[in-house]
Amino acid sequence: LPYVPQVPPLALLGKVTATTFALERPRCVFDGHADASDAVWLAVAFANASATFRNPQCRAEVPPYQQLLAARSYMTLETAAAAYSCSAASPAVLRVGGDTACRDQHRQDPCNGPLPSPGPYRVKFLLMGCRGPKAETRWSEPILLRTALSPSTIEAAPARRGSALVVIASILASLGAALAAAVLGALGAKVWGSLCHRGLGSGAFIRRSYRTHHIPPALPQPPAPGCSPPGLGPSAPQPPAPCQRT
């Protein structure tokens, strides 16, 4: 088949790592060639060993994951052919080397285990029926794995830290806490001083409250002749006529 497997071109987290890589899912590639009982395998080989790879004639001849270093090739990701049809709702990518439990398995059945070296590798999809291979894709271009280069992925200190490292870490932590407390104290004092300067401090508030609430009441004054007593409104009786001067 003319299809060439490839790493997806879109930005994908962990697309190529030190032990795994992602592949585009070969949708619609095997339609018209596969039956309901057929399976699609992925053949993985070192780039310089892909030319010598021979397709197995039955499932018993499938090279297992444990023989990768010796045979320089293996087969994995056995999937029903219907999963790659145009009508199948399936993820857009396949993860090669994503099963870390394969390292602990002593059985010889196929497994999608982590790749042991940077490679480069080449892969192809193989359609297998009850009587052997029925169709295959072309080999991919060489795929080279990548190791982490970001400093954030490197542990700054070993797992077992010495006593000197613990002491230094404690001193640094104490200095950091003291510096943070000093900065916060300086900021608080500056803000409080600004409030007091504007007359918003507690002392100004107390003095203002004292002047407001302790003003001695004015002594009652005798009413002037001809004037209305305090508290009388328009409906109160009017003063006698003699209080009016002409």
pLDDT tens digits for range 188-197: 666 556 655 5
Comparing 102 with 230, which gets the higher pLDDT? 102
User: Which pLDDT does position 18 carry in this prediction?
Assistant: 93
Residue 72 clears pLDDT 50, i.e. is over it: yes
- Average pLDDT for 6-28: 91
pLDDT tens digits for range 211-238: 444 555 555 555 555 444 444 444 444 4
User: Which pLDDT does position 217 carry in this prediction?
Assistant: 56
Which segments within 81-120 are labelled E, that is strand?
Answer: 93-96
User: Which pLDDT does position 106 carry in this prediction?
Assistant: 66
Average pLDDT over the chain reads 74
Sorting pLDDT into bands at 50, 70 and 90, what band is 154?
A: very low
CA dihedral 80, 4, 1, 62 (to 10 degrees): -50
On whether the CB atoms of residues 99 and 113 are closer than 8 A, the answer is yes
Residue 90 clears pLDDT 50, i.e. is over it: yes
User: Which pLDDT does position 192 carry in this prediction?
Assistant: 54
Q: Which helix (H) or strand (E) holds 191?
A: helix 163-197
Comparing 30 with 204, which gets the higher pLDDT? 30
User: Which pLDDT does position 11 carry in this prediction?
Assistant: 84
- Average pLDDT for 155-172: 50
Sorting pLDDT into bands at 50, 70 and 90, what band is 95?
A: very high
On whether the CB atoms of residues 52 and 43 are closer than 8 A, the answer is no
Residue 198 clears pLDDT 80, i.e. is over it: no
Residue 85 clears pLDDT 80, i.e. is over it: yes
- Average pLDDT for 97-119: 82
Task: Please give the Cα distance from 246 to 244 (Å, whole number).
Answer: 7
**How crowded is residue 116: how many other Cβ atoms within 10 Å of its Cβ?**
13
User: Which pLDDT does position 243 carry in this prediction?
Assistant: 41
Task: Please give the Cα distance from 229 to 150 (Å, whole number).
Answer: 91
pLDDT tens digits for range 35-51: 888 999 999 999 999 99
Sorting pLDDT into bands at 50, 70 and 90, what band is 57?
A: very high
Residue 30 clears pLDDT 60, i.e. is over it: yes
First to last CA, the chain: 127
